[in-house]
Amino acid sequence: MGGGGGGQGGFGWNEDHEDERKKKKVLWQGWADRVAADPQFVYKVVIEQIIGVGAAVIGDMSSRPNWGLNELDFVFATLVVGSIVNFALMYLLAPTTIGGALPADASLITRLFSDQTLLAMGAPAGHMFEPGFALGARLLNFAYKGMIFAGIGMAAGLAGTAVSNGLIALRTTLDPTFKSPNTPPNVLANASCWSLHMGFSSNLRYQILNGFDMVVQPVLPGSVFRLLTSFIRGGNNILGGMSFVILAKILGVQKAQEDAVKAEKM
């Protein structure tokens, strides 16, 4: 009986191991498809994570009083969320070389993020400006990607805001004399702001950026294109950081201490 139980347990482990292997294969295949379709894809991802996120933080800080030095908790949340969403924007809007169809047992999450889902609806799989599609199909891509990005923005916003608020709470516990100069943002409200920003502003800007790359990349030498795209992506992220702060202030989800005092006086 002991041997039988061991065999059964081993069989179950093999099934779990096989499922995990399939998931890793899907993730790696998605990356390989993007690299095959765009030899500059890895470079763009690196630029987005280093220059892009840094530029977004600069844009964020430049839109706050005293260059954000009194609102570093908000800036840190932008850094955390920006690192997540920049990769998602790059990965999900990149053109791919499409392989076979999805397996029949693919999970809902896999189907939602798969290029095959949009292709099955007659829409571009990567960005909306890919050649060979009608206007309606391009708008469908924009709406679908916006929905996906809004969901990612919500999840990343929840994580980033919770981490930022948690660090402030930890510092307050360790140093009872410390008082945060800002009102900690409501986690759900701040995440919703990120969701809105990702679904429309980030989606629109990165769609245009990918369309621009599609036009200029084939006609420029590799080194010239890398220099140009680094500059443009840095500017795009500064604009993104600034637009998020403006949206957050308009919606009232991030309030510095001076803003809270003004609101109380009114």
User: What does DSSP say about strands 182-183 and 255-256: parallel, antiparallel, or unpaired?
Assistant: antiparallel
Structure tokens belonging to residue 84: 């997540």
197 pLDDT more than 80: yes
What is the average pLDDT value for the chain, to the nearest integer? 81
Q: Looking at the domain assignment, is residue 178 inside a domain?
A: yes
CB 163 within 8 A of CB 200: no
pLDDT cut 70: percent of the chain above it = 81
Q: Looking at the domain assignment, is residue 28 inside a domain?
A: no
Q: Looking at the domain assignment, is residue 107 inside a domain?
A: yes
Non-local (6+) Cβ contacts of 215 within 8 A are none
Q: Which of 45-59, 69-83, 121-135 has the lowest mean pLDDT?
A: 69-83
Q: Looking at the domain assignment, is residue 8 inside a domain?
A: no
* Domains of the chain: total: 1
Higher pLDDT, 85 or 218: 218
196 pLDDT more than 90: yes
Higher pLDDT, 19 or 86: 86
Q: Looking at the domain assignment, is residue 26 inside a domain?
A: no
Mean pLDDT of all residues in 4-10: 47
Higher pLDDT, 28 or 196: 196
Cα(92)–Cα(184) distance, rounded to whole angstroms? 32
pLDDT band at 13 (very low <50, low <70, confident <90, very high): very low
| Residue range of the domain that includes 156 | 38-265
34 pLDDT more than 80: yes
Cα(187)–Cα(247) distance, rounded to whole angstroms? 16
Q: Looking at the domain assignment, is residue 1 inside a domain?
A: no
